[in-house]
Structure 1
Amino acid sequence: MPIIVGDYSLDMQTTSEGGESSRHELELALGEQINALLSATRALSERSAAHFHADLQPAAFHIARWLYAFGPARPSAIAEAVSMDRSSTSTLIGKMRSLGLLDSSPAPGDRRSIIVGLSERGRRRVAATLEDRGKEFYARTQDWSEDDLTCLIELLGRLTSDQPT
């Protein structure tokens, strides 16, 4: 009996007693779907970054989203948190400050260092962008049953868990 996964039809008949052929086909189909998910996520991130500010690189939205979630911080802490090098982070922070998306102030106890955070304008733009992302995600899942959503959440949790099941 064939199973349809995305654009793939999998023949569930096995060629050996252990079922290695159908298992292999399922694992390949899973890999294809994970790749499709990663591509769709990357595309959504690119659109979100452009929605946040068309004149900035997508990495700037990553910084802004982190600041939105965690609040003001030193540029070095931001760079570490978003896994970017300090130079790139500093350049993006400078550009974001010049666009009025970030505010900065001297760091308490070390006036040579600064703390950056989202300005009111920056917070509004991040919030609007996240709302837009949420609408797109909701549009993709609004017709799903609660059982389907629960199943996907559980399976993704198992897939991304540090512990094998």
Structure 2
Amino acid sequence: MQRNTSGNAPREQLENALGKQLNALLSASHAINVRAAARFDASLQPAAFHLIRWLYAYGPASAAVLADSTAMDRSSVSRLIKQLESLGYVRREASPEDGRAILLSLTEHGQQMTVEALKEKGSLFYERIAGWEDKQLHEFIELLRKFNGLEC
């Protein structure tokens, strides 16, 4: 589909409407993430839960990889990791490839707490699509894939 470049108002209105909906999606996603973080441990900042979710999804990593992957500065990651360690959610271990390198990983307690927090997050998400027909959900997935530049 080609973009209407004639400066025509209806296209501009559609693009503005899309922007509003994307903003609403991002805002709702952020709110759900903050609630999941509070469910995980209300004493932690949501940024700490962001690190937890990353470790849960991708496994052990160095603090530098965590900082780069989450777009957080290294000093913030270091501070948050110390807090997560003191609460028993994260542990340090020597890298199997290089015994001098330190990897961070979730403890069993950290894994269990993450699963519980993500279940609640998932239930909030799935409530929104519960009444959708399979065809609608498939179309939405395909459109998001295309929007995200992931179409094959």
**Displacement, 1:106?**
3.1
Runs of 4+ in 1 over 6 A off after TM superposition: none
Structure with a larger share of its residues in strand: 1
Larger radius of gyration between Structure 1 and Structure 2: 1
Identity %, equivalent residues: 44
> 1:38 — aligned with what?
26
Aligned counterparts of 1:84 and 1:95: Cα–Cα separation in 2:
16
Runs of 5+ consecutive residues of structure 1 not aligned to the other structure: 1-17
Number of residue-to-residue matches in the alignment: 145
* Among 142, 150, 156, the residue aligned to 2:138: 150
What are structure 2's unaligned runs of at least 5 residues?
1-5
2:3 matched residue in structure 1: none
1:12-54 alpha-carbon deviations (Å, 9 max, x no partner)? xxxxxx6922222111111111111111111111111111111
Aligned residue for 1:48, secondary structure, equals helix
Deviation at 1:110, TM superposition (A): 4.1
Output the TM-score relative to the length of structure 2: 0.88
Quick one: which amino acid aligns to residue 103 of structure 1?
Answer: R
TM-align CA RMSD: 1.7
Residue 136 in structure 1 maps to residue 124 in structure 2:
yes
- Provide the rounded CA distance (Å) in 1 between the counterparts of 2:132 and 2:80: 39
Deviation at 1:81, TM superposition (A): 1.5
**Residue 90 (structure 1) aligned to one of 51, 72, 78:** 78
Equivalent residue letter for 1:32? K
Looking at structure 2, the residues matched to 129 and 146 of structure 1 have their Cα atoms a distance apart, in angstroms, of 27
Match of 1:23 in 2: 11
- Measured in 1, the distance between the counterparts of 2:59 and 2:66 equals 10
Q: Secondary structure at the match of 1:117?
A: strand
Distance, in Å, in 2 between the alignment partners of 1:96 and 1:79 is 15
| Alpha-carbon shift at residue 107 of structure 1 (Å) | 3.5
Higher RCO structure (Cα 8 Å, ≥6 apart): 2
